[in-house]
Amino acid sequence: MPQNAHLALTVNGEPTEVAFAPYKTLLEVLREDLNLCGTKHGCELGECGACAVLLDGHPVLSCLVLGVDCAGRDVLTVEGLVADGRLHPLQETFADLGAAQCGYCTPGFLVTAKALLDEHANPSREEIKEALSGCLCRCTGYQQIFEAVEAAVVAGSAKASNTRSAKAPAGRSIP
């Protein structure tokens, strides 16, 4: 058995040190060594997008990234979307508008959509489709996902006035 790699990185804003077998992918390090099971896997071959995380702000497929390549870098997973005990607007709208059915692909969609919104404050439907085209969902038919991203844009821009999930109909939100 090869010697463990030992490195320091930032995970969801926290400086983190981790030791792991050097052949492990970032996906495996997150799930198995950091107990961050929110990131999922559907193929481990870079085909489905379920394992997407943000690496220095950009979406990557964590099953194709080696853990040892992440020293000193900044990783954001679905667990890091909640800030100050509050769901990210995308999380609110995904939950409210049916964008998560089985929920297995959802973490990958959420972080990929976050990267999109971080770059484009108000993306068109076509831009949303393009940005999410690497993530497969077998449940929803994608339409409610597109709508949730669009609603999060509205909610995000309304955030200043402290209105959450403005476009989301009904449903109580739990912080």
CB of 167 to another protein, least distance (A): 12
Is 36 or 72 the residue whose CB approaches another protein more closely? 36
For another protein, which is the closer residue by CB, 96 or 150? Answer: 96
> What is the SS3 assignment for 114?
helix
Q: Which residues contact 143 (CB under 8 A, 6 or more apart)?
A: none
Residue 39 CB, nearest approach to another protein (Å): 7
Of residues 72 and 169, the one with the C-beta less far from another protein = 169
What's the one-letter identity of residue 48?
Answer: C
Q: How far is the CB of 67 from another protein (least distance, A)?
A: 14
The two counts, helices (H) then strands (E), for the chain are 5, 5
DSSP class of 68: G
Cα 1 → chain centroid: 32
Which residues lie below 8 Å from residue 98, measured CB to CB, with a gap of 6+? 140, 144, 148
Contact 126, 133 (CB under 8 A): no
> Of the two residues 122 and 173, which places its CB atom closer to another protein in the complex?
173
Instruction: Note the residues at the interface with another protein (CB under 8 A).
Output: 21, 23, 31-32, 35, 37-45, 47-48, 50, 77-79, 81-82, 87, 90-92, 94-98, 100-107, 110, 128-130, 132-133, 135-146, 169-174
State the nearest-atom distance from the C-beta of 85 to another protein, in Å.
12
